[in-house]
Amino acid sequence: MKFLKNFLIFVIILILLALVNRWYLGGFTKLEAKEQPMGPYTIAYTNYVGVYSKIWPSMTKVYDILSGAGITSATGVGIYYDDPAVVSWANLRSDIGAVIASQDVGKLVSNKDIKITTIPPKTRIVVEFPLKNSLSYMIGAMKVYPVIAKYMKEKWYTNEVPMVELYDMVAKKIYYMADIMVQ
């Protein structure tokens, strides 16, 4: 009987810890898609093809190159071109990098491993998600993308647009953005 009581207490504690962890990571956060102006962003990036969950070596490579050029960035960026439900995981295309100050572009001109582009200012669909730790990237994607898809469907917007994720380490938020295009 004592074993059963201790086991029950253990299970209750595990459930409570799981709920607290989910709350901390934003699992119970009410998400709202809204249209708001975002940009411009000058980004230094590299192309990546493959499973989106394996982008981190490419992100690290970009940050190492930026650091070597004397450039710091507190905002990572991922531009995801393909829907994993439609395109095979091995063929998913993305651009992975960091937001940099426009005056730093000249420091990277001779680097053939880095490309530079600007995401122009525009009103976009935006959903914010808290950035607590590395699990936030996975939980955020699982929670946010259905919210954006529902919003696009309600507004009759096409979902055939790249998704942009900004990883703002200072604000501790991930901004999920999609361009607005009517079907």
Summarize pLDDT for 56-97 with one digit per residue, the tens.
999 999 999 999 999 999 999 999 999 998 999 999 999 999
What is the model's pLDDT at position 100? 97
Summarize pLDDT for 108-122 with one digit per residue, the tens.
877 889 999 999 999
Q: Are 67 and 61 in contact (CB under 8 A)?
A: no
What is the model's pLDDT at position 76? 97
pTM of the model: 0.85
The angle subtended at Cα 71 by Cα 70 and Cα 75, nearest 5°, is 155
Percent of the chain whose pLDDT exceeds 90: 68
Check residue 26 and give left, alpha or beta (phi > 0: left; psi -120 to 50: alpha). Answer: left
